[in-house]
Structure formats: C-alpha cells, structure tokens
C-alpha cells in the first residue's frame, strides 16, 4: 500500500484530479488520497460556469489566468473525450451579465469597455435588443453585458473525466482515507500519514479545498457556503447563462436550469437553509418569470475555499521543500482547474512556467494570513 509515488495529492476534488491528470500525462506516478468519496464536496456543488468575464471584473492577476484557463476548455473537452469517453458538456453560448438599474448599467458598460480593451468578445446589449437574444427575460431589466466566449461545463463530468484520464495514464486513487499529517524530515516532505498507514513521496500537493488549512495550519483559507437549486421545464427558457449580482441561472442540457448561489461565510455546515433558497427563488423569478412554470428538481449546498484577496494558492510552499499548494479557488475552481493542473505539473517536473506574477504564491501573503485567522 505504501509504495513510492512520484507525487501524492491530498484531496479528490476537481483541483486534485486536474493535477493528477496533468502529471500522469507526463508519465509521473500519482496517488490521490481522498478522505471521503471523490468529487462530493465543492466540486459537486458547482454550477460549472466558466465566467471569466463575469466573476473577474477588473484588472487583477486572476483576470489573465481565468481567460487562459477558459480558452483551454475546447481542446481539453476533445482530449478528455478521446481518453475517457466522457463528455464534459461544454456549452459555449455566452453569458449575459444583467443590469437591474441604470446605475448597474453604467457600471456594466464600463466593464464591457474594459473587457473590449483587453481584446475580449464583450458587448453591451440595451434593453430594446435583449428581447431578441432571450425573449423570456423580464422586461424590467436595464440591459446586459454579453460575454460570448464565457460558457459552462458539467463540473462532475469534468472532475470524473480528469480522474478517469489520470487512471488511464496509470494514476492511483484511494478513497475514504484521511491524510492526518505531512511527514517532514529536515524541512523536506517525505510523505503523508493517514490513520492507518504512511505513504512516501518527495512531492505532496495539498488540494484539500476549504479543508486544506486543517492539514497545513499556516494556510489562510476559510469556508464560504453556497446554496443552489435546480428545476426542469418542458420548453427551453433561455440559451445563455444569466448572471447578476443577486443570482445566476445556468441552462444545462435537457432544459434543466441551475440557480445559484448564496454566499455564507465561516461555516462548514453543508445543510441547506430555507431562507437561502427562498431568496434565490424570488430573485430568479424576477429575472425569468417563466421559471414559475418549471418543475422542481433538487437543492444542495457546498463549501467554497476562500482566501481574503480571492486569489488561489498555486505554488510550492515557501519553506517546506516538496510541498505544493493548490487551494483557495473560491468561486472559480471549475474555471481554473485546467490551468491549475498544468501549472502544478510544470512546477513539479521543473518545466518553465510563467504566470507573470507572484500573486498565487504563499510568500508575501502573511498579512492576509493574519486577517483570515481573525474569525
Ligand atoms: P473540493 O471540491 O472541496 O475538494 C477538496 C477535497 O479534498 C474534498 O473532497 C475533501 O474531502 C478532500 N480533503 C480535504 N482534506 C483532506 C485530507 N486531509 N485528506 C484527504 N482528503 C481531504 N466554480 C466555478 O468555476 N464555476 C462555478 O459555476 C462555480 N459554482 C459554484 C457554486 C457553488 C454553490 C459552490 C459552493 C462553488 C462553486 N464554484 C464554482 C467553486 C468551485 O466549486 C470550487 O472552487 C472548486 O470545486 C474547488 O475545488 P477543490 O478540489 O479545491 O475543492
Ligand atoms: N461561481 C459561482 C459560485 O461560486 O457561486
């Protein structure tokens, strides 16, 4: 059981599997260790939006990697399908970022201009033209920014395809096994400990999502719960993802719609509150009145891994040699999964990687550490 692996990855969510996939593709022997069943935490709660222009709205280190990662999806879809036969359900019909008021509209017009200045396909759609794009949207909307290259995938299919793809390249997976400790000798990692075993490797990646800081105590990551619900309808209600400050509606295959999501800080409790769903329902019906005619499917919640500056950690640990951190992807872990996998794999294999910034490093974010540990 405890034979040597090139890389041990702690956490079987989308980030852990994406890293395992990228590494095994390069011929590395990987072992993913997951404390429960894989893909059951934040990964399975996500709506799957690739909202590079709606979630990242201004100049930020996240902006570039979000767009790069989004652009990796068409090739990744083909590659994963060829390798595993799994269709990740990439839908590229674009996203409408809604203005509820004239004030929202002014902000979104500025945002549209910003994205255009970066060469992105964004345009402003005034109320009068919105009806042509999405006839079922409420007539009270004050226009929308249309980001035609933003789309969505099935997070579960994507995570499963990464996991299966890694397996097909020789990667291993261990479920229902919690890593309780890192094995460190002379400030270098040599493996991990579980309740019953030790597993050895000179490279360990922490990809434990919102729980990553339980293993690596100095990691400033905290939980932010999100609740969602889904419905189905007879007829197609929308073709594009509807995104607003208040809620989003994602049109999935088979006339199924995911509506999300609440933002509740500081809890690991994955139970759904009636108040959260009640409020989302009202907001979604305000945007898309025909949603009232849809049939109820289900509700769920998940725990997003947040950092104070909302930038993930994607780097080697500054003092523990051989320890890498890939966690804190907050609202964008599905979107950022391809680039995170590639970046960590390149760091470990020593290939050149250029994010052009230290923003995703642990170094220099001590102030954030202190702030995060206040709650
Ligand atoms: P998780 O999926 O939480 O996986 C971490 C895994 O590590 C867990 O399975 C856990 O059991 C395991 N683990 C932790 N500690 C240990 C240990 N010590 N030993 C063994 N295993 C361990 N992102 C988008 O890009 N687009 C979206 O539309 C989107 N929508 C979202 C909607 C909601 C409601 C929520 C909650 C999130 C959404 N996100 C979205 C964010 C996205 O889901 C997360 O950023 C992403 O899933 C994080 O992936 P992860 O692998 O880091 O974490
Ligand atoms: N990115 C959507 C969410 O986290 O709710």
Mean pLDDT in each 10-residue stretch from start to end of the chain (375 residues)? 84 98 98 98 98 88 95 98 98 97 96 96 96 95 97 98 98 98 96 97 98 92 97 97 95 98 97 98 97 98 95 94 97 98 95 77 65 41
pLDDT for 375: 32
Q: Which residues line ligand 1 (CB under 6 A)?
A: 10-16, 33-36, 40-43, 45-49, 178-179, 207-211, 215, 226, 228, 260-261, 302, 304-305, 327, 329-335
Q: Which of 19, 40, 41 to mutate to test the pocket of ligand 1 (most atoms within 8 A of CB)?
A: 41
N- to C-terminal Cα separation, the chain: 39
Which residue has a Cα nearest atom 5 of ligand 2? 261
Which residue has a Cα nearest atom 38 of ligand 1? 46
pLDDT for 366: 55
Q: Pairing between strand 188-194 and 241-243?
A: unpaired
Domains of the chain: 2-76+155-220+309-372 (3.50.50.60), 92-149+223-306 (3.30.9.10)
- The gap from C-alpha 161 to its chain's centroid, in whole angstroms, comes to 15
Q: In 3-state terms, what secondary structure has residue 136?
A: coil
Q: How far apart are CA 67 and CA 71, in angstroms?
A: 6
pLDDT for 2: 59
Q: Is residue 249 lining ligand 2, measured as CB closer than 6 Å?
A: no
Q: How far apart are CA 365 and CA 234, in angstroms?
A: 50
For 292, other C-beta atoms within 10 Å of its C-beta total: 10
pLDDT for 374: 39
Closest CA to 204 of 323, 111, 70: 323
pLDDT for 126: 97
Q: Any idea which ligand is nearest the CA of 175?
A: 1
pLDDT for 372: 46
Q: Is residue 261 lining ligand 2, measured as CB closer than 6 Å?
A: yes
Contacts by 78-87, CB closer than 8 A, 24 or more apart: 80/158, 80/161, 80/162, 80/165, 81/161, 83/161, 83/164, 83/165, 83/168, 84/160, 84/161, 84/164, 84/165, 84/168, 86/157, 86/160, 86/161, 86/164, 87/157
Q: Which of 43, 47, 50, 283 to mutate to test the pocket of ligand 2 (most atoms within 8 A of CB)?
A: 47
Q: Any idea which ligand is nearest the CA of 332?
A: 1
Query: Helix axis angle, 73-84 relative to 155-168, nearest 10°?
Result: 60
Instruction: State phi, psi for 75 to the nearest 5 degrees.
Output: -70, -40
Q: Are 223 and 306 in contact (CB under 8 A)?
A: yes
Q: Using the atom order of ligand 1, give the atom closest to the CA of residue 334.
A: 25
Q: Is residue 155 lining ligand 2, measured as CB closer than 6 Å?
A: no
Ligand 2 centre to CA of 261 (Å) is: 6
Q: Is residue 225 lining ligand 2, measured as CB closer than 6 Å?
A: no
Closest CA to 298 of 239, 237, 252: 252
Q: For residue 66, what are its two tokens?
A: 């979000």
Q: Are 131 and 144 in contact (CB under 8 A)?
A: no
């Amino acid at each position: 059981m405890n034979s040597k692996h090139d890389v041990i990855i702690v956490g079987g969510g989308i980030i852990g599997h994406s890293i395992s996939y990228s590494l095994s593709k390069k011929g590395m022997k990987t072992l993913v260790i997951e404390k429960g069943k894989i893909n059951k935490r934040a990964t399975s709660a996500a709506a799957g939006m690739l909202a590079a222009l709606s979630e990242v709205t201004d100049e930020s280190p996240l902006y570039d990697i979000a767009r790069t990662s989004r652009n990796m999806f068409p090739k990744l879809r083909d590659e994963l399908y060829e390798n595993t036969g799994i269709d990740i359900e990439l839908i590229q019909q674009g996203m409408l970022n809604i203005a509820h008021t004239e004030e929202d509209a002014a902000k979104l017009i500025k945002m549209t201009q910003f994205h255009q200045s970066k060469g992105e396909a964004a345009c402003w759609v005034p109320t009068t033209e919105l009806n042509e794009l999405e006839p079922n949207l409420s007539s009270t909307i004050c226009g929308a920014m249309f980001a035609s290259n933003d789309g969505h995938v099935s997070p579960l299919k994507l995570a499963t395809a990464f996991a299966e793809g890694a397996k097909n390249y020789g990667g291993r997976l261990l479920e229902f096994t919690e890593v309780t400790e890192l094995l460190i000798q002379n400030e270098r990692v040599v493996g991990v400990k579980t309740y019953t075993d030790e597993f050895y490797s000179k490279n360990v990646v922490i990809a434990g999502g919102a729980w990553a800081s339980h293993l690596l105590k100095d990691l400033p990551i905290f939980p932010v719960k999100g609740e969602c619900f889904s419905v189905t309808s007879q007829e197609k209600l929308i073709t594009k993802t509807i995104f607003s400050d208040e809620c989003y509606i994602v049109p999935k295959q088979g006339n199924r719609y995911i509506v999300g999501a609440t933002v509740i800080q500081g809890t690991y409790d994955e139970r759904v509150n009636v108040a959260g769903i009640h409020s989302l329902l009202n907001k979604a019906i305000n945007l898309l009145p025909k949603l009232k005619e849809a049939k109820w499917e289900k509700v769920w919640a998940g725990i997003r891994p947040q950092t104070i500056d909302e930038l993930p950690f994607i780097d080697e640990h500054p003092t523990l040699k051989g320890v890498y951190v890939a966690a804190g992807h907050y609202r964008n872990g599905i979107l950022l999964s391809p680039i995170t996998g590639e970046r960590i794999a390149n760091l470990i294999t020593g290939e050149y990687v250029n994010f052009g910034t230290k923003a995703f490093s642990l170094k220099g974010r001590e102030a954030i550490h202190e702030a995060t540990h206040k709650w």
